[in-house]
Amino acid sequence: MHIVIIGNGAAGNSVASIVKKFDYEISIISEEIFPEYSACALPYYLSAEIPRQHVFLKKHEQYSRAGIHTIFGKKVGRIEVKNQKVILEDGGLKYDKLVIATGAEAMVPKIAEINKTGVFTLKALEDVDKTLAYHKRKVVIIGFGFIGVEAGIALKKRGFEVVFIELLDRILPRAFDKESLQF
């Protein structure tokens, strides 16, 4: 049986490790080129508290040693459910069972010109790399949620000037209601 997993994060790799016990053929497809890494470690890499290599949970060779075929750096174009086939930009891959473990996307507000140079999210390793490669030292963070706060603290540790913008009237609005922040 061939199990195809779309997504190389924690969920996809957990499925792979469980399914591997049954001696199935496993393929992991990821748009990213990197082996599994911890998204929770990204703020620590962004702040320079840990080096880049400490973000990774696996090395490329660990997949092949575990008998897992990887297709990294390829985007899934579509899934043909009737034919049990995942279509990539340069071909297709048949499956017996398909697991979609792609996680969530960063929420980007609908603001005019939001896709301009210098606008970043903090969801993937490549986001941190792009942020660190950018030459400006003043940062505006939209969203005072957990990820925004973590990003702000990390960038402040790197010497950036950080300003927050939040639509609601409090920090961590999904964690605290208005009453819990009254002292």
Question: Which of the residues are catalytic?
Answer: 40
pLDDT of residue 176: 77
Distances in whole angstroms, Cα of residue 45 to Cα of each of 21, 74, 121, 144, 155: 33, 25, 15, 20, 10
Question: Does residue 17 lie in a domain region?
Answer: yes
Q: Is the confidence at residue 174, as pLDDT, over 90? A: no
Q: Check: CB of residue 47 under 8 Å from CB of residue 155.
A: yes
Measured between alpha carbons, how far is 80 from 15 in angstroms, rounded to an integer?
Answer: 21
- pLDDT of amino acid 115: 85
87 and 48 belong to one structural domain: yes
In contact, 125 and 31? CB cutoff 8 Å: no
Q: Looking at the predicted structure, is the pLDDT value of residue 182 above 70?
A: no
For 103-128, what is the mean pLDDT? 90
Pair (43, 130) in one structural domain? no
* Residue 36 belongs to a domain: yes
Q: CATH no. for residue 76? A: 3.50.50.60
pTM metric for this prediction: 0.87
Are residue 11 and residue 94 in the same domain, yes or no? yes
113 within some domain: no
More confident residue, 170 or 180: 170
Task: Note down the domain range covering 17.
Answer: 2-100
Neighbour-count burial of 6, counting CB atoms closer than 10 A to its CB (0-12 exposed, 13-18 middle, 19+ buried): buried
Summarize pLDDT for 18-61 with one digit per residue, the tens: 999 998 999 999 999 999 999 999 999 999 999 999 999 999 99
